[in-house]
Amino acid sequence: MRVLVTGGAGYVGSFTVRRLLAAGHEVVVVDNLSTGRREAVRGCPLRMADIRDPAGMGPVFEEFRPEAVIHFAALKSSEESLRDIGTYFGVNVTGTQNVLDLCARTGVERFVFSSSCAVYGTPQICPVDETAPVRPESPYGETKYLSERMIASYGQATGLRYANLRYFNAAGAADDASLGEYAGPAATQLLPVAVRATLGLAPALRIFGDDYPTPDGTALRDYIHVEDLAQAHVRVLEGLDTDERCGPVNLGRGQPVSVRELIDALRHVSEKDTTVTTAPRRPGDPGLSWADPDLALSRFGWRAERDLDHIVRTAWDWHTGTPASLE
């Protein structure tokens, strides 16, 4: 299958590109490299373009004529979205509309969207399944849900088969430490931030909120290994062979992990201590959020295979073996 991957030089995108190539698909990556890395997609054609620029994106679609699109390109920080709402709507919503217009124009048949559990906000019941109310608590979550609705409308109007993958917290790195997450001083993702603190690159790891209604007072999340997540994208793309399979799909391990439990796992793997301080809760951060992943298994035969120890161990090996990943 000819697959165009927007944002394919980013974290989850680059792992998915590897999986697509290994499965025999023909792949072209589109990325503006604002956060992506050229070296993450060596051996795959990379076209520099911005999804906000239809004139720049159009020739890529016209020349490659993709049969399928996996759409990763987006901004992804709930906290940042509160400070820069306009940019988030411009990239995540208008950018997605531009991609969908090009799909309609060039006859793309399948569309896999990198959505987020942020569409649920703070779920009323966990684990959360795809029938749960959608109540985003940040502009970021709102942009993801608006994009989902737009994708569904294009699907209904054009026959585009689609899946909106609501995944939870991507983490980890390749087993051989050949690829992972690049997370510099401005990183907000918990695991790389914790690694930075453990290595002395930051004075301490701040825990935002230790008064949640959880066993240890810290927020509960669902961490999923990036390799499992990449495999899910490929499995879903290949499985979109009927209209009945279209719609939202949760991707997670279905096992809640608290902030303190993740820090303890890092201490175990690294055999080092992590200095921790506490800070008030951040706006837009739910206290409880983990997936019911059963639909992904029943509809596409996918489930996560790697546990928390594997997630933390591969991340630690990647960051310590690749100092540039933390610069």
Active-site residue list:
140
Classify strands 161-167 and 68-71 as parallel, antiparallel or unpaired.
unpaired
CA distance 142 to 164: 14
Phi, psi angle pair for 231, to nearest 5°: -60, -35
Q: Enumerate residues 6+ apart whose C-beta is below 8 A from 109.
A: 67, 68, 160, 161
Which has the closest alpha carbon to 215: 142, 154, 288, 277? Answer: 288
Q: Which residues is 206 bridged to in the sheet?
A: 277
CA distance 179 to 220: 27
**CB neighbours (10 Å) of residue 190?**
21
Question: Is residue 36 within 8 Å of 14, Cβ to Cβ?
Answer: yes
Max intra-chain CA distance, the chain: 55
CA distance 224 to 252: 6
- Residue closest to 76 by CA, chosen among 118, 21, 111: 118
In order, the DSSP letters of 2-14 are EEEEETTTSHHHH
